[in-house]
Amino acid sequence: MRVPVQGPADEPADTKQPEPADRRQDPPLGQPPERAEDEQLPAEKDPTEDPQVEADTVLPEDEILAACATILAESGAYSVLHPGCGTGRCARYLAAAGFLVTAFDIAQLSVRVAAARCVPEDLPIRYLVADPSLPAPDIGQFDGLFAPNILHLFQHPQRRRILRLLTRNLRPGGVGIITVISNRDQRYAQGREIERDTFEAFPGQLMHFYSEDELHYELDRYFRVSIIEEVTEVETDHLGNKFEYSMLLACGIKRD
């Protein structure tokens, strides 16, 4: 999960400059920043020191990740696909636990930061820039899928498409682990309801809150679901503030 970060207020344009510098608004929760295809970071700048990246980086507690690593190991998985990797916190944890990880995210800067941070540890992670909601079939086939906090950012038709595309990259008998926000979370019903249990707290910022029954129903088409349990996800932001989220963790074996 990410919490919105308030960007600095726009400064008044300098009357001596006819063309003020371009400024972008911070993206809404769960959506990457817009970037031109040819946009480059300055060669002399270390992306891991970018202040916006630091502001967007959160440090979740390891309990959920430890449970996921245990599930993957007990299922015999080695290669793991991790969509929506952000700056690579979960990917590094799984790689350090002994898995061969392919991680991807649509935000180019986040992927560059993630790749830079894993170099000193020489971890077995392959990073790609790709849309987590539209994974390409040529990414490969994997023993395991770890998809945290992705499905609840979309409406029902998109969620079904995402599951279909992600399971396409999972080998027969592969294990899938998915986390979503629960309808017991304190943020439930904040904002305008645009479809059942889906709310728009801010323009363009959607959040779908799952019940256990609904999550089982959506996953059952693609997985033989064995686990759905409520967990608490705790995140600490760059200022030391802690945020708790009521989540559902689901695990299942891909259907033939």
Domains of the chain and CATH, by start: 59-254 (3.40.50.150)
Q: How confident is the model at residue 237 (pLDDT cuts 50, 70, 90)?
A: confident
Q: Which two tokens stand for residue 146?
A: 């770890």
Q: Is the pLDDT of residue 170 over 60?
A: yes
List, in sequence order, every beta strand (DSSP E) within 88-214: 100-105, 125-129, 142-148, 170-181, 192-195, 198-202, 205-208
Do residues 253 and 223 make contact, with C-beta atoms less than 8 angstroms apart? yes
DSSP state letter for 118: H
Q: Is the pLDDT of residue 10 over 60?
A: no
Q: In angstroms, rounded to a whole number, what is the distance separating the alpha carbons of residues 147 and 104?
A: 11
Burial of 137 (0-12, 13-18, 19+ CB in 10 A): exposed
Entry field: residues in the chain: 256
Q: Is the pLDDT of residue 26 over 70?
A: no
Average pLDDT of the chain is 82
Q: Which two tokens stand for residue 125?
A: 């992670």
Do residues 95 and 123 make contact, with C-beta atoms less than 8 angstroms apart? yes
Q: Is the pLDDT of residue 112 over 50?
A: yes
Q: Is the pLDDT of residue 38 over 90?
A: no
Q: Is the pLDDT of residue 62 over 80?
A: no
- Comparing CA positions, the residue from 243, 66, 250 lying closest to residue 163 is 250
Burial of 201 (0-12, 13-18, 19+ CB in 10 A): middle
pLDDT at 9: 42
- Comparing CA positions, the residue from 230, 242, 185, 226 lying closest to residue 208 is 185
